[in-house]
Each structure stands twice: as C-alpha cells, then as structure tokens.
Amino acid sequence: MNILKSKWVTLLILWAAGAVIWQTAALAYGPEIIPGPADTFRGAKELLSDGSLVRYIGISFYRVFIGWALGSLIAIPIGLIIGKVSAIRVFAEPFLNFIRFIPPIAFITLFLVWFGIGEQSKIALILYATLFIVIMNTLTGVLAVEEDKIRAARSMGASEWQILLHVVIPATTPYIFTGIRLAMGTSYMAIIGAEMIAANEGVGFLIWNSRLFFRTDWIFVGLISLGLMGFVTDRLVGLLGRRLLFRYGVISSGPIRR
C-alpha cells in the first residue's frame, strides 16, 4: 500500500514538473512557437465546443479499428499456414521480409489511386500496416511451438487438424496477441499520415490543417489526443488480453503489481 501511495505521489510530481517545464518554455518562446498548458487548454475547449475534436477522434479511431481488426483477422490464418507448411514458408518468407520494410505511408498515393479518396483507401492502409506485423508474429509463434507438445498430441492420437486446433493455435496465442498489440501502434502512425495527405476529417487532418491558421495550440491538442487515444486503446487491448487469454500465457505490461 505504501509503495502504491508513493508511486502515485511520484507520478504526480513528475507530471507537475513536466507542466512547469512546458509553461516555462512557452513563456520563453512565446505562444506562437510553443503554446503553454493554458493556451492548449483554451484551444481544446474551442475545438470541443463545436464538436470537431470529438468527431475527429471518433473518425480516426473508427478507421484504425476497422483496418486493424480486418487486418488481424486476415493475418492470423495466413501466419498459421505459412508457419505450418514449410513448402509455403520457403517462398513466403523472403517476400514477407521484402515487403515489411515498405512503410504504409509510402503506399498512400497508390492506395488513393486504387481505392479512391474515401474511407476504403484509409482502411486499406491500416489493414496493410497491420497485416505483416501480425503475420510475422503468428509465424514466429508457430515455429516456436515445442516439438514435445506436438509429439505428445500425436502419440495421444490427435490428427494433424486436431494438433493445429488444440496445440498450435493455443500455443501461438501469446505471439498473436503481441502482434496485434504492436500493430495497433503502427496503425495509428499510418492513419495520421494518411489523414494529413488525404482527408477532410480526423486527428491527422486537424494537426495538418492547423498550420494554415498558424494555430500551434490546435496542433498540441491533436498531439495530446493521439497520445491519449493510443494509451487508452493499448490499455484496453492489454486488459482484454489479460482477462480473456490469461490461460494461454498472455501477459502484458500494465498496472500489474509484482
């Protein structure tokens, strides 16, 4: 209990110190270069009062969630197949290692041409950002399944299909989970890039558009919103993982007291 108390006190002091440094810098350079906490708060109130901030956060979150969920759903079976079938792996691995080094942002123009200016192109981009991370993690998980487990199942009469379903997938679950959690991070990066270049709504659009009015305080609001969105979703995903997948050995950083 004492440790917990002192942890919160320390956190509070750290945040307060951060705010003081921020305010000092704002005073030193002026609100146009670095808007202070008060200016940022006023900017946030402005954006909240006409509902645009909430709408932007909602639309960005919606794009990330749809693309990420679809990408994960497609990537998991692909990763399982590539991991399980060495004949496919031989061909797929070099390709995966080639394409995963092409960042999603690099595809924005092409995706706009291919999928149009609407939501599809953004969701496709998130899907792409998610796909390879989840495939790579799932694949690694399949390869890491101990041979003894598979042998044990086989000698107890399990068919190859049963081994996949009852041994490989459960054993790979922690890797899959890590993959989709990491993919959430790259999805946010991808969506901000996409919204900066080709969108009329979203947090990325807000950050990019604010430059036209030289509203650095709005940019700060956008950055803080992004941090909060990422933090909250990551904690939620982590919590869900710990609650639902605990028996598979899914552990995630979070407020676990050791």
CB 143 to another protein: min, Å: 15
Site membership for another protein, residue 58 (CB under 8 A): no
Stretch that binds another protein, among 11-19, 51-59, 143-151, 208-216 (CB under 8 A): 143-151
Q: Choose between 166 and 211: whose C-beta lies nearer to another protein.
A: 166
**Which residues in the 82-101 window bind another protein by CB under 8 A?**
none
Q: Is 2 helix (H, G, I), strand (E, B) or coil?
A: helix
- Site size toward another protein, by CB under 8 A: 22
- DSSP letters for 52-95: HHHHHHHHHHHHHHHHHHHHHHHHHHHHHHHHH-HHHHHHHHHH
Site membership for another protein, residue 45 (CB under 8 A): no
Site membership for another protein, residue 152 (CB under 8 A): yes
Site membership for another protein, residue 146 (CB under 8 A): yes
Interatomic CA distance for residues 180 and 164, integer angstroms: 20
Residues 6 or more apart whose CB falls under 8 angstroms from that of 225 comprise: 53, 56, 57, 203, 206
**Which residues in the 164-183 window bind another protein by CB under 8 A?**
166-167, 170-171, 173
CB 175 to another protein: min, Å: 13
- DSSP letters for 122-174: HHHHHHHHHHHHHHHHHHHHHHTS-HHHHHHHHHTT--HHHHIIIIIHHHHHH
Stretch that binds another protein, among 29-37, 117-125, 162-170, 204-212 (CB under 8 A): 162-170
